[in-house]
């Protein structure tokens, strides 16, 4: 490891020399720094304030049996460096706690509370340390601790239900919505405080679909766990599946054949287009432009049919595997891909012309649900929602994976942060994705498409990142014995972005909530796992 | 306005003829795996690769019981890949919905060679074909009552009790111009009080159990419950754990099960119409033997 390659690490060592216990690179783009001091604040503040790094995610690991303590991991990245820097911090000897960063970095508010719930580690100094991932009425259990068996049958819940901040003041009402919503969507509870029509504030209660996913990753053998990864968030099946397989490949230290990397790139972009075109229609629909939605959903359907012909499944499931992809495409499939994409491009242009021609649609969407760039930065917003609010992040460009290094594409960024611009980001991205797919489909997709995956020794760690259609997906694994994992951390972009919804609805009328929520279109299952 | 009209006329009629005519489905689609039990030399390879335990083994001594549960299957095709002798083949069958959970389960018994491969087929229970008539009738009665009461209209309340949202993607697709479920007089409604059918996805999570029960109780009688997808039927890959209770029938009486991961829109349509007595169950077309 040459220091010149890791300017961040160099800076850290200069400043915090004695606190840095050791350092090693898992791969050249993944550096681990082991800190001695359980108080991580100084390092984190230095990285974020002075080095302009971003805290990507925080998670914990129960290492009591192997190393005597719990560890927290803080993942940082910085624009311009392809590396991820992982700061590994021990919990204090015998102590079940860690130092909270949420007061300074609101972006990790939920993630720190998740650690409290799942590991029983207290976040010291957290501004709102209430339960988040396990609901308030759960018994006192910490399911991700190694001594908690996954199949534990918990007694019926009798504890206190969640108490919302009361809505006080003359003419202020509380409007509870959910967890079962009016439409065909995932469950979550929203509590609005309204004064007349405008929303004063929104409180969220998520994790209704928590189904023990991270714990289950520790139980399933790796080849089965791929399918679990595909079920983290249904509309992002391929992105999560690919992120997981990438992590396995990194841990196994194998190279994936180029043909497979190109095919993955095509499928990742297809997933993006499917969801974006669906969302564009749904946003138009929510302000009454039903015809646009009919065309958009028809277009989405043509892509689902293509998905099926390329992978055997409309959601692209059962295609990605550790080492590459399970099947290669024949000429007929490749022709179909090119033909469908060309036809789609023409129709998509018409659709957007239609949407843009409707002044009433634009009028309803502009300046609705604004998320300001400063707020977006504080809250650590990623993906489509971030890019509409000035956050210039895209894993495909910043930490290239699959075959993205090969393709040039533009990352659209706007400052306005309203519903209209979240839609515009999607429109631009569809056009970029079409370009990527066209170029990629001209590769000669022949030869090897699946590298053999050897048995992976225990205790290999690997981080993998994918720009799903919503934004940054992170998987981190530690391998265990016998084709199993010790730990698998999943971070869906939705986890970052829920606070953005809370922020964006403030001051808007409650009738606009559906379209604002739709413009973020976050995954409840990805959040809750 | 003119542009809108022009666009719509240009697109023409796109709605599928299914179920009036057979569904046009690509031969790349992975539907039900079909098993030639006579030919299957060794179920161990299938059980080993199957991600959800849809193929499971039991028995002792020189007898092996093999259970195939389409209610757990995610249609990944790995069992067929692991059976080079073509004893397991992926078909395009998708009309798997049934009123009886046991109709989705096949059990087979083999005597074994010394090396653990199959020697001889002893007994086969083919799910659908062995389904008891009586049990069938009970379910049918409730469905016919609904059909009689409501004629051709049906209101559905959808509840995600913990799914990954994959099933919702396909349920939403039922409303697109291709599948256009409203042409059958079927509507998705916002309130359980207006609903005749509860369409439930997901393994039921501990955190959703109460909300699901409350929604069910809020519905007027008569009502039918349809469990969607591998997770809705059996818990799927999530199974039962500290946070997941498993399939919908752990919490509510289920009238119809629709396998798939997720079930494609035509499969959902078949299951929904089956649940109100407007389409029959379709027995599997098994290999001979
Ligand atoms: S197709 Fe179904 S039975 Fe076969 S391996 Fe996959 S999940 Fe198991």
Whether residue B289 has pLDDT greater than 50 = no
Q: What is the mean pLDDT of chain B?
A: 85
What radius of gyration, in Å, describes the C-alpha atoms of chain A?
23
Q: Do A312 and B171 touch (CB under 8 A)?
A: no
Residues B164 and A203: their CA atoms lie apart, in Å, by: 23
Of residues B31, B91, B200, the one with CA closest to residue A314: B31
Residues A243 and A113 placed together within one structural domain of the fold: no
**Mutational test site, ligand 1, from B40, B51, B79, max ligand atoms within 8 Å of CB:** B79
Domain end, chosen from A78, A108, A124, is at: A124
- Residue B219, pLDDT > 50, answer yes
Same domain, A116 and A218: no
Residues A218 and A113 in one domain: no
Closest A-chain CA to B77: A318
CA nearest neighbour of A244 among A25, A77, A489, A480: A489
A205 located within any domain? no
The full set of domains in chain B, from first to last, is 33-125 (3.30.70), 131-275 (3.40.50.12280)
User: A193 in helix, strand or coil?
Assistant: strand
A404 within domain boundaries: yes
Look at residue A379 and tell me if it is in a domain.
yes
Range of the domain at A31: 5-124
Does residue A69 form part of some domain?
yes
Decide whether any atom of ligand 1 lies within 6 Å of the B43 Cβ. Answer: no
Query: Within this chain, do residues A102 and A239 fall inside the same structural domain, yes or no?
Result: no
pLDDT single digits (tens) B55-98: 999 888 888 889 999 999 999 999 999 887 889 999 998 989 98
Res. B135: pLDDT tops 50 = no
Write the ipTM. 0.90
CB of residue B53 inside a 6 A radius of ligand 1 = no
Q: How confident is the model at residue B147 (pLDDT cuts 50, 70, 90)?
A: low
Domain boundary among A90, A124, A158: A124
What percent of chain B has a predicted confidence (pLDDT) above 70? 87
Q: Which of A124, A141, A172 is the last residue of a domain?
A: A124
pLDDT value for B199: 94
Do residues A372 and A488 share a domain? Answer: yes
Residue A175 within a domain: no
Residue A192 resides in a domain: no
Residues of B with Cβ-Cβ distance to A153 under 8 angstroms: 242
pLDDT, residue A286, reads 85
Task: Give the domain CATH number at A113.
Answer: 3.30.460.80
In which band, very low, low, confident or very high, does the pLDDT at B133 lie, cut at 50, 70 and 90? very low
Decide if A144 is inside a domain. no
Which tokens go with A304? 């689902």
Determine the pLDDT at residue B286: 54
Q: Whole-model pTM?
A: 0.93
- Dist. CA B272–CA B278, nearest whole Å: 9
> In this structure, are A119 and A218 located in the same domain?
no
Closest Cβ–Cβ partner in A208, A305, A310 for B205:
A208
Cα–Cα distance for residue pair B280/A329, rounded to 1 Å: 37
Q: Are residues A287 and A413 in the same domain?
A: yes
- The predicted model gives B37-51 an average pLDDT of 89
Confidence of residue B150 (pLDDT cuts 50, 70, 90): low
Apex A491 CA angle, A386 and A88, nearest 5: 110
Question: Kind of pairing, strands B186-188 and B154-160?
Answer: parallel
Reply yes or no on whether the pLDDT at B15 is more than 90.
Answer: no
Tens digits of residue pLDDT in B119-132 = 887 777 776 544 44
pLDDT of residue A235: 94
> Does A159 fall in a domain?
no
Name residue, tokens 């501990």: B206
Query: Residue A338 is encoded by which pair of tokens?
Result: 């090119």
- For residue B11, list chain A residues with Cβ-Cβ distance below 8 A: 295, 298
CATH number at residue A243: 1.10.645.10
Q: Are residues A229 and A96 in the same domain?
A: no
Same domain membership, residue A511 and residue A364: yes
Cβ separation B165–A235 shorter than 8 A: yes
Domain count, chain A: 2
- Look at B163 and A350 and tell me if their CB atoms are within 8 Å: no
Per-residue confidence (pLDDT) for residue B193, from 0 to 100? 87
Measured from the Cα of B49, ligand 1's closest atom is: 5
Q: Which residues of A touch B163 (CB under 8 A)?
A: 186, 209, 234, 525
Write the Ramachandran bin of A288: left for phi over 0, alpha for psi from -120 to 50, otherwise beta. left
**For each of chain A's 529 residues, which pLDDT tens digit applies?**
444 446 777 777 777 776 777 777 777 778 888 888 888 888 888 888 888 889 999 999 999 898 888 999 999 998 888 889 888 888 887 778 898 998 888 888 899 999 999 999 999 899 988 888 888 888 889 999 999 999 988 887 776 677 777 777 788 888 888 788 888 888 988 888 888 888 888 888 889 999 999 999 999 999 999 999 999 999 999 999 999 999 999 999 999 999 999 999 999 999 999 999 999 999 998 888 888 898 999 999 999 999 999 999 999 999 999 999 999 999 999 999 999 999 999 999 999 998 888 888 888 888 888 999 999 998 889 999 999 999 999 999 999 999 999 999 999 999 999 999 999 999 999 999 999 999 999 888 888 999 999 999 999 999 999 999 999 999 999 999 999 999 999 999 998 899 899 889 888 888 888 899 999 999 999 999 9
User: B210 with A137: CB under 8 angstroms?
Assistant: no
- In contact, A411 and A392? CB cutoff 8 Å: yes
pLDDT digit string, tens, across residues B260-275: 999 999 999 999 988 8
Assess whether the previous peptide bond of B222 is cis (omega < 30° from 0): yes
């Amino acid at each position: 490891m040459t220091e010149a390659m890791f300017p961040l690490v160099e800076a850290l060592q200069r400043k915090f020399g004695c606190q840095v216990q050791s350092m090693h690179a898992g791969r050249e783009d993944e550096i681990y720094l082991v800190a001695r001091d359980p108080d991580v604040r100084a390092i984190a503040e230095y990285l974020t304030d002075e080095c302009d790094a971003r805290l990507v995610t925080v998670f914990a690991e129960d290492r009591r049996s192997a190393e005597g303590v719990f560890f927290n991991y803080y993942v940082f990245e910085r624009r311009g460096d392809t590396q991820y820097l992982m700061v590994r911090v021990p919990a204090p000897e015998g102590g079940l706690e860690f130092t909270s960063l949420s007061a300074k970095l609101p972006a990790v508010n939920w993630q720190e509370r998740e650690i409290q719930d799942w590991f029983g580690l207290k976040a010291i100094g957290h501004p709102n340390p209430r339960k988040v991932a396990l609901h308030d009425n759960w018994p006192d259990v910490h399911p991700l601790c190694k001594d908690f068996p996954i199949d534990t049958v918990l007694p019926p819940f009798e504890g206190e239900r969640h108490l919302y901040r009361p809505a006080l003041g003359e003419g202020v009402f509380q409007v509870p919505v959910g967890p079962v919503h009016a439409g065909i969507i995932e469950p979550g509870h929203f509590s609005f405080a309204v004064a007349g029509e405008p929303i004063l504030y929104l409180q969220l209660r998520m994790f209704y679909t928590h189904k023990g996913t991270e714990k289950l990753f520790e139980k399933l053998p790796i080849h089965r766990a791929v399918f679990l990864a595909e079920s983290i968030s249904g509309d992002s099946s391929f992105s999560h599946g690919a992120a997981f397989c990438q992590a396995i490949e990194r841990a196994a230290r194998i190279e994936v054949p180029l043909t497979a990397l190109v095919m993955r790139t095509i499928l990742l972009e297809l997933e993006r287009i499917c969801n974006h075109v669906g969302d564009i229609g749904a946003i138009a629909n929510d302000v009454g432009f039903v015809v646009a939605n009919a065309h958009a959903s028809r277009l989405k359907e043509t892509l689902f049919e293509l998905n099926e012909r390329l992978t055997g499944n409309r959601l692209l499931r059962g295609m990605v595997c550790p080492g590459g992809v399970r099947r290669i495409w024949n000429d007929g499939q490749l022709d179909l891909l090119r033909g469908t994409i060309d036809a789609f491009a023409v129709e998509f242009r018409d659709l957007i012309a239609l949407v843009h021609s409707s002044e009433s649609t634009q009028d309803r969407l502009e300046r609705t649900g604004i998320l300001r760039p400063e707020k977006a930065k504080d809250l650590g917003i990623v993906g489509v929602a971030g890019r509409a609010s000035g956050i210039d992040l895209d894993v495909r460009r910043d930490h290239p994976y699959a075959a993205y290094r090969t393709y040039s594409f533009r990352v659209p960024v706007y400052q306005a942060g309203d519903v209209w611009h979240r839609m515009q980001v999607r429109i631009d991205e569809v056009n970029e994705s079409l370009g990527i797919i066209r170029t990629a489909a001209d590769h000669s997709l022949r030869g090897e498409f699946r590298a053999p995956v050897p048995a992976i020794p225990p205790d290999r760690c690997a981080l993998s990142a994918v720009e799903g259609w919503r934004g940054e997906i992170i998987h981190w694994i530690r391998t265990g014995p016998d084709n199993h994992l010790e730990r698998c951390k999943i971070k869906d972009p939705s986890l970052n972005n829920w606070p953005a919804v809370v922020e964006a609805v403030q001051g808007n009328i409650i009738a606009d909530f559906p379209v604002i929520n739709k413009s973020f279109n976050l995954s409840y299952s990805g959040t809750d796992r | 306005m003119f542009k809108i009209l022009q666009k719509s006329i240009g697109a023409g009629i796109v709605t599928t003829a299914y179920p009036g005519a057979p569904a046009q489905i690509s031969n790349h689609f992975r539907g039900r795996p079909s098993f030639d039990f006579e030919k299957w030399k060794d179920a161990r390879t299938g059980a080993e690769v199957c991600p959800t335990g849809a193929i499971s083994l039991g028995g002792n001594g020189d007898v092996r019981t093999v259970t195939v549960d389409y209610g757990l299957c995610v249609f990944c095709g790995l069992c067929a890949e692991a059976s080079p002798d073509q004893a397991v083949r992926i078909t395009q069958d998708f009309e798997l919905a049934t009123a009886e959970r046991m109709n989705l389960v096949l059990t087979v018994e083999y005597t074994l060679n010394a090396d653990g491969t199959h020697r001889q087929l002893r007994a086969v229970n083919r799910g659908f074909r062995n389904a008891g008539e009586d049990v069938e009738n009970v379910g049918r009665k409730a469905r016919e009552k609904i059909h009689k009461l409501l004629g051709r209209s049906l209101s559905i309340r959808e509840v995600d009790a913990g799914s990954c949202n994959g099933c919702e993607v396909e349920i939403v697709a039922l409303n697109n111009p291709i599948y256009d479920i409203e042409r059958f007089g079927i509507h998705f409604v916002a309130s359980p009080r207006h609903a005749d059918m509860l369409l439930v996805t997901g393994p039921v999570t501990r955190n959703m159990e109460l909300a699901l029960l409350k929604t069910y109780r809020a519905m007027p009688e008569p009502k039918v419950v349809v469990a969607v997808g591998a997770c809705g039927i059996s818990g799927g890959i999530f199974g039962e754990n500290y946070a997941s209770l498993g399939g919908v029938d752990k919490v509510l009486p289920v009238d119809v099960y629709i396998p798939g991961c997720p079930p494609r829109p035509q499969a959902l349509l078949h299951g929904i119409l089956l649940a109100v007595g407007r389409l029959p169950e379709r027995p599997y077309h098994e290999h001979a033997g």
